[in-house]
């Protein structure tokens, strides 16, 4: 479970690193073309997919019933919060990271679609959202490393 969560976080950081590198290359070599229509369609699909996936992953951690059985167990101890499983939480954070990156691409695509001369929006949005993605993974990564160090 923990190794799977660690692998998920490593993938998030590697993908973010590659995206940041490519953004730097676009700033250094601005002679690239962007097809804003394809970028819009792809990023919109990615945003919708990541929203759906994050909703599914978040609800997977919800492990109690609201029916008659729930009333019978009133004196039971409080349950662990949703996403207490490290792998599930890492997958959720991974999906949220992908969602942020997809939103970044969507914002860039919208800017470039309406103002093609502002294609610099693509690397700028990549830098902003990459920072945001890395910040959202710190807590999960800290929890993973704490468990591994205790082991």
Q: List, for residues 30-71, the tens digit of each pLDDT value.
A: 888 889 999 999 999 999 999 999 898 887 654 444 444 444
pLDDT band at residue 77 using 50, 70 and 90 as cut-offs: very low
Assess contact for 99 and 51: CB atoms under 8 A: yes
Please determine, for residue 75, whether its predicted confidence score (pLDDT) is greater than 80.
Answer: no
Question: Of 66, 64, 100, 98, nearest to 82 (Cα)?
Answer: 64
pLDDT of residue 57: 85
Full-prediction pTM beyond 0.85?
no
Distance CA(54)–CA(102), nearest Å, equals 13
pLDDT of residue 80: 42
Q: List, for residues 141-151, the tens digit of each pLDDT value.
A: 888 888 888 87
DSSP summary character for residue 3: H
């Amino acid at each position: 479970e923990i190794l799977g969560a660690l692998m998920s976080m490593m993938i998030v950081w590697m993908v973010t690193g590659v995206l940041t590198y490519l953004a730097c290359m676009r700033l250094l070599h601005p002679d690239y073309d962007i097809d804003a229509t394809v970028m819009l369609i792809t990023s919109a699909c990615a945003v919708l997919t990541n929203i759906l996936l994050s909703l599914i992953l978040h609800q997977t951690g919800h492990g109690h019933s609201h029916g008659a059985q729930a009333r019978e167990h009133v004196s039971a101890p409080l349950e662990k919060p949703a996403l207490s499983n490290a792998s599930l939480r890492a997958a959720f954070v991974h999906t949220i990271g992908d969602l942020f990156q997809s939103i970044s691409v969507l914002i860039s695509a919208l800017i470039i679609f309406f103002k093609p001369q502002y294609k610099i929006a693509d690397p700028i949005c990549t830098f902003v959202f990459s920072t945001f993605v890395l910040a959202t993974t710190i807590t999960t990564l800290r929890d993973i490393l704490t468990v591994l160090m205790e082991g």
